[in-house]
Amino acid sequence: MSTGLVAPTTASSTAQGAAPGTEPSGAVRLNGVSKVFGTGERAQLVLDSIDMDVAPGEFVCLLGASGCGKSTLLNLVAGLDRPTAGAVAVPSGRPALMFQDHALFPWLSAGRNIELALRLAGVPREERRDRAEELLELVRLPGAHRKRVHQLSGGMRQRVALARSLAQGSEVLLMDEPFAALDAITRDLLHEELSRVWRERRLTVLFVTHNVREAVRLGQRVVLLSSRPGRIAREWDVNLPFPRRIEDTGVSTLATEITGHLHEEIVRHART
């Protein structure tokens, strides 16, 4: 079971394939990134020549059909895998990573799950309890420190998972369809919470989703990947004021436009 917990690293350790002495300007930078799985006749090009910069504090959503390489790209940025070609750099250090599965340890309480992340981040033992409490309050779960995972709803578990990701102290948060398994009402509430935390903490967020309206509601920029191999097919700046609602006219209009392009990519891939 992957937990999204990683030991802290230096900034240079997340710059993969960069030329000596170069320093990227963005919070996340991908330069000519390609990824091939397998070798010989079985080799599959999953990502092809991806160039993308994510500015500090920016919220970027990645969209694309299943299998286009969205999660692969996120894994490369997280440092869980290396590109076959090109360079990935995260100058501030290893990002925090949050998955669709909350991946909480069921034998630990909500607070202890967060304290584990704080320990891996080097926070002294005497500070961990208070810090965990602060993070639970940040995600609107005050008093949940002693609750076990089985006592929490799906939405509450994802709030704890978000708090645990924030406990890692990273300026960059990677999210791989974190709300896909939740019901519509819970997902709507967590959209509000994530937007609030993002603004309060001034985080840089790279968010993978299949849900076009979710991408438009949350993101300042939406990036559409083509079907395999994944290339950047198109980008949209989302010039809509916050806070946004999923049913807002502006969200609906832009989501309809993006959905049309997504369908075109799916059809194009089916014909090749």
pLDDT in tens, 170-211: 999 999 999 988 999 999 999 999 999 999 999 999 999 999
Residue 268, pLDDT score: 74
Would strands 44-54 and 172-176 be described as parallel, antiparallel, or unpaired? unpaired
Q: Is the pLDDT of residue 12 over 60?
A: no
d(Cα 157, Cα 91) in Å, to the nearest integer? 30
In the β-sheet with 232-237, what is the strand arrangement from edge to edge?
96-98, 172-176, 204-208, 59-63, 221-225, 232-237
pLDDT at residue 270 greater than cutoff 90: no
H helix intervals, 145-210: 154-167, 184-201
pLDDT of residue 15 exceeding 60 = no
27-95+172-272: CATH homologous superfamily?
A: P-loop containing nucleotide triphosphate hydrolases (3.40.50.300)
CA distance linking residue 162 with residue 192, whole number of Å:
13
What mean pLDDT do residues 212-229 have? 94
Residues of CATH 3.40.50.300 domain(s) within the chain?
Answer: 27-95+172-272
CB 269 within 8 A of CB 227: yes
